Structure 1
């Protein structure tokens, strides 16, 4: 088992060196995965993650409602940059309580409050823009 890990680590180091990038310590796959049902798109190449997977960040955003899935308890927003999280503009599904989902409809331009933990977030307040 240790031989397999060493082989994988050396292979990753060689691939990284071949790309001209500095090798990094391997991280367990389960700590870097987003929820399989999370919908995100946009240029996330320069997106920094929250400092810790357990630290909650309160943030505000502006965007357009793209989808509401009441069964899954999510709202998909095409939002502008969120500086508190160091996120660029993107389209992303957030958790949302039923009252939040009921307060908006697809196509609405909205201001929203979101609590971010790691790369996931929950919309905690939403207000339709005039």
Structure 2
């Protein structure tokens, strides 16, 4: 009977200790894998250094403009999957120069180029479909 109580007590102690810990996402590993994949594909711009990884990943996407915030310098796109970034389809805001935000309006279907630095992206080119 004492053995069962000891086992239960140790189990509860282990669970209690684990409750305060959070799972940490391997962000650096994913970033390095994406950078390595881009290097193999030849889609890397060596002019930028990001988190010890030389270069920004270049990616292309297709989507619909859902918002433009010229004051913040962002454009929100409802885009399809972006394999170069290992991103599923989603809606997200990207940094964009005034020449990009001025070229389109909300509701436009577009093809766009991205420069990805870690989890941040900037639209570097955009064209209406």
The TM-score with structure 1 as length reference comes to 0.63
| Structure 1 unmatched runs, 5+ | 1-9, 18-22, 33-47
Deviation at 1:15, TM superposition (A): 2.7
- RMSD of aligned alpha carbons: 3.4
Residue equivalent to 1:81:
81
Select the structure that is richer in strand. 2
Q: 5 Å matches for 1:37-116?
A: 49-51=30-32, 54=50, 55=53, 56-116=56-116
Task: Specify the SS of the correspondent of 1:113.
Answer: strand
Residue equivalent to 2:5:
none
| Structure 2 unmatched runs, 5+ | 1-13, 36-48
From the CA coordinates, give the structure whose radius of gyration is larger.
2
Task: Specify the SS of the correspondent of 1:63.
Answer: strand
Greater relative contact order (Cα < 8 A, sep 6+): 1
Select the structure that is richer in helix. 2
Aligned partners of 1:126 and 1:106: how far apart in 2?
Answer: 13
Aligned partners of 1:104 and 1:110: how far apart in 2?
Answer: 8
The TM-score with structure 2 as length reference comes to 0.64
The 4+ residue runs of structure 1 with deviation greater than 2 A are: 10-13, 23-27, 48-53
**Alignment: residue pair count:** 97
